[in-house]
Structure 1
Amino acid sequence: MTGLFDAAAMYDDDYLHFFAAPRGASEFAAHGPVLPGADSPGEAVAELTWRLLDLRAGMRVLDLACGHGDLANRLAARGCRVTGLDSSTVFLDRARADAAAAGVSVEYVAGDMRRIPWTDRFDRVVNWSTAFGYFDDATNRAVLDGIVRALRPGGRLAMDLDNLTAFLASYCPSRVVAARDDGDMLVDRYHLDALTGRFEAERTVVRDGRTRTLTFVKRLFGFPELRDWLLAAGFATVSGYGEDGRPLTADHKRMIVVADLR
């Protein structure tokens, strides 16, 4: 996938090394908020998605920009007929391996979210872990148009993004991520562009004695702006929630936008 940065360079084995559970772990890769009563962070995300999307076994679900498949595999384990679309071959290989190890069936497809290849196929679309906003604004809006085309009448979309108000309140110009006890680390340096609404990052990866630097960009959204984009794309209603499933507030770290077609 091409756009404002080299996505293939970012979403690779180094990303999995720092941000995903080791291959062969007994649990799915864990991420996301922990809800009361949940057995794991990953299951909490699946439960929240299940509830907000009003999912039922047998529904066709598209996990758009599915990454390494953690959520897609969990929804398939609950009985949904899941398709995962992603541009990263490394992520898709991991997703397929984890699906096979878990004994679940997911259709993983290599593709570009700017060219969603289905029409009127899915009951639900999920786009999780800030997997939207990586292009210029016209292209980002075209992605929403593609989601509308892929959904059946009455379909529903759930998107999980940074909550802008909380993000800005806790903004820090850098971070360091260490991978277990092997000496590997990842260093991000950030810049916020107030004119474009973009969050720009320079990432330095130190792993196995080698160092490389890459950049990435993502668009930051407030709820009113994204709501208006979704309504313009053809959705009839748009609601906002936090990571606990309650109506969105300024204090929530995540912004989950749920949009319904007529």
Structure 2
Amino acid sequence: MTADLFDATAMYDEDYLHFFAESGADASKHRPVVGTAHPGWSAAADLVWRLLDLEPGMTVLDLACGHGALANALAARGCQVTGLDSSAVFLERARADAAAMAVDVEYVFGDMRDLPWSSRFDRVANWTTAFGYFDDPTNRAVLAEIARVLRSGGRLAMDLDNLAKFLTSYNPSRITATRDNGDMLVDRHHLDPLTGRFEVERTVVRDGRARRLTFVKRLFAFPELRDWCTAAGFTDVTGYGEDGQPLSIDHNRMVVIADLP
């Protein structure tokens, strides 16, 4: 397994839930959505349902499921949902919310680079910029893992930053999230054009204490990710915006839909 580009355990912890899980300001599940708007979870579930052509009873993997907002919403609509994430903190929250909603979701602690299934799922959702956190060969291997766990005729929906819009609103620093008590996340950004990586130095201020951490994610233009999906075995790769319309420069989000033959 390749070395991680940053400490994901430090990044995706209770502080992240404190700022994002209960906020309606952005629908981020557990991955940074810096400078881009994202629809709320009801709208996200509607979009996933439509673009994945879901029906009650289908088996769905929410890959990098975070605290389970999408997984629980799809389970409430009748799908057989499995959620996988590498954060024990987020999975604990996901299970608690599922119990409160009286929905049945199988939550699994795991790594998207080594999925414990083969040809099991009708659909895979990878939502809210939950892809692109490794080096390029490993990111491509993750796509191959997704193809491996899908059944023949399966479909992937992947929600990411729309690079074209992202670049037009790029800002080297910003306050990313705040709470009424003065807690905040402050980010300093660096975009490396040689690697396509967006590097962030984050300062977390909570309860009067500050700590610093870094994270890195890969940004993609649609043609590049389309070619990666095709190389992993997918066909009919198409791109949409957060409103479900064909992708344009005006969309904040890029939703990639890829089918297996």
TM-score range for the pair, normalised by the shorter chain length: over 0.9
**2: distance between equivalents of 1:57 and 1:107?**
16
Measure how far apart 1:179 and its partner are: 3.2
**1: distance between equivalents of 2:67 and 2:225?**
26
Question: What is the RMSD computed on CA atoms of the aligned residues?
Answer: 1.5
Secondary structure in structure 2 of the residue aligned to 1:256: strand
Q: Find the counterpart in structure 1 of residue 52 from structure 2.
A: 53
Structure 2 length as normaliser, TM-score? Answer: 0.93
Q: Name the amino acid aligned to 1:190.
A: H
1:62 and 1:122 in contact (8 A); partners too: yes
Q: Find the counterpart in structure 1 of residue 85 from structure 2.
A: 86
Query: Are residues 122 and 178 of structure 1, via their aligned partners in 2, closer, same or farther at CA, if it must alter by over 3 Å?
Result: closer
Q: Find the counterpart in structure 2 of residue 225 from structure 1.
A: 224
Q: Name the amino acid aligned to 2:179.
A: R
1:17 and 1:179 in contact (8 A); partners too: no
Alignment of 1:86-105 (within 5 A): 86-105=85-104
Secondary structure in structure 2 of the residue aligned to 1:114: coil
2:236 and 2:258 in contact (8 A); partners too: yes
**Per-residue deviation, residues 162-215 of structure 1 (Å, max 9, x unmatched):** 000000001011111443311111100000001000000000001012111000
Query: Are residues 168 and 30 of structure 1, via their aligned partners in 2, closer, same or farther at CA, if it must alter by over 3 Å?
Result: closer
**Per-residue deviation, residues 9-65 of structure 1 (Å, max 9, x unmatched):** 00000000111117xxxx9x955744xxxxxx2111000000000000000000000
**Per-residue deviation, residues 52-82 of structure 1 (Å, max 9, x unmatched):** 0000000000000001100000000000000
Percent pairwise identity: 73
2:27 and 2:38 in contact (8 A); partners too: no
Q: Find the counterpart in structure 1 of residue 20 from structure 2.
A: 19
Q: Find the counterpart in structure 1 of residue 7 from structure 2.
A: 6
Q: Name the amino acid aligned to 1:52.
A: L
Q: Find the counterpart in structure 2 of residue 109 from structure 1.
A: 108
Q: Find the counterpart in structure 1 of residue 244 from structure 2.
A: 245
Q: Name the amino acid aligned to 1:135.
A: F
**1: distance between equivalents of 2:176 and 2:138?**
31
**1: distance between equivalents of 2:71 and 2:91?**
11
Structure 1 length as normaliser, TM-score? Answer: 0.93
Q: Find the counterpart in structure 1 of residue 178 from structure 2.
A: 179
**Per-residue deviation, residues 222-251 of structure 1 (Å, max 9, x unmatched):** 000000000000002100000000000011
**1: distance between equivalents of 2:202 and 2:148?**
35
Secondary structure in structure 2 of the residue aligned to 1:57: coil
Q: Find the counterpart in structure 2 of residue 138 from structure 1.
A: 137
Q: Find the counterpart in structure 1 of residue 34 from structure 2.
A: none
Q: Unaligned regions of 5+ residues in structure 2, if any?
A: 29-36
**2: distance between equivalents of 1:245 and 1:136?**
29
1:75 and 1:82 in contact (8 A); partners too: yes
Alignment of 1:63-78 (within 5 A): 63-78=62-77
**2: distance between equivalents of 1:144 and 1:178?**
31
Q: Unaligned regions of 5+ residues in structure 1, if any?
A: 35-40
**1: distance between equivalents of 2:136 and 2:27?**
31
**2: distance between equivalents of 1:11 and 1:149?**
27
